[in-house]
Structure 1
Amino acid sequence: MSLIVFFGPYETNGLIKHKPERLHGLLSELNKLSYHIEVIPTKHLERLTIEMRHREIFRCNIKNLKYNMDYEDDPMAQKIVGVVQEAHSRIYNESNIPKYYVNRMGMRGVQNIQRGITAKDIFSPSIELINEIGTQKARQHRE
């Protein structure tokens, strides 16, 4: 659960410079939620960008965050934490993780499965299978 927070400089009192104090409430809450955070200053003026797994999940003007405020008092920080949690649940969802199955027969194996051909049909009749996964005989054998 790692995040990269990019923040740019902004103008205050006639000076343009990076001020990470605006990120105080946001970073403290994300630390409480056990996110690993890397904070990187960028050259993009007044921009705050948050990335998770090399995907941009949030972008806004850094001036929308309150200066040196706690998480409870900053509505934008609360919104960002909500977005981060939603992105985490979507990105790290089990259905998004690819599953690879070894199939040495390639397309022929896929076609055999579609046609309903089992391992008994493929092997010579002289070979006796002790256990075949997914068959009634295998279930009975385990019991």
Structure 2
Amino acid sequence: MLKNAQVIMRYGPYSSIGLSVEHRTYRLEGLLAVMAEDGHQVFLEKIEDWNVVELMVNEEVVFRCNIKDLEFGGDGKLDPLCREARIAVLNAY
């Protein structure tokens, strides 16, 4: 299990409630909180792929999901995708 990893969180733009398509971090808050709780250092990187979140460890994508599937705000503890991402990062090597 990998602890205190450097994680690159790549995220694309998405549209929210009919607003324009932009890079927003509101849906990443829970994922960021889960990574910080495990002691990982997270670097945010904007990408041009719409609706995408990728977590990279050691230059390898270990987790990928649709950004709209993440819960809005919160601490990520009840979000099943945050739990899945946490396990993927811990199992990275």
TM range (shorter): 0.7 to 0.9
Aligned length, in residue pairs: 88
SS of the residue aligned with 2:74? coil
In structure 1, the residue matched to 2:47 is: 42
CA distance in 1 between counterparts of 2:67 and 2:49 reads 11
Contact 2:8 2:43 in 1 (8 A): yes
In structure 1, the residue matched to 2:17 is: 13
In structure 2, the residue matched to 1:54 is: 59
Looking at secondary structure, tell me which structure has more strand per residue: 2
Q: Give 1:69 deviation, angstroms.
A: 2.1
CA RMSD between the two structures: 1.1
TM-score, normalised via structure 2 length: 0.87
CA distance in 2 between counterparts of 1:9 and 1:45 reads 5
Indicate which of 7, 21, 38 corresponds to 1:33.
Answer: 38
In structure 2, the residue matched to 1:3 is: 7
In structure 2, the residue matched to 1:69 is: 74
CA distance in 2 between counterparts of 1:72 and 1:28 reads 9
Moved over 3 A (4+): none
Unaligned runs of 5+ in 1: 92-143
Task: Choose between structure 1 and 2 for higher RCO, CA contacts under 8 A separated by at least 6 residues.
Answer: 2
TM-score, normalised via structure 1 length: 0.58
- Aligned letter for 2:89? V
- Aligned letter for 1:20? T
CA distance in 1 between counterparts of 2:17 and 2:78 reads 24
Q: Give 1:65 deviation, angstroms.
A: 0.4
In structure 1, the residue matched to 2:91 is: 86
Contact 2:34 2:77 in 1 (8 A): no
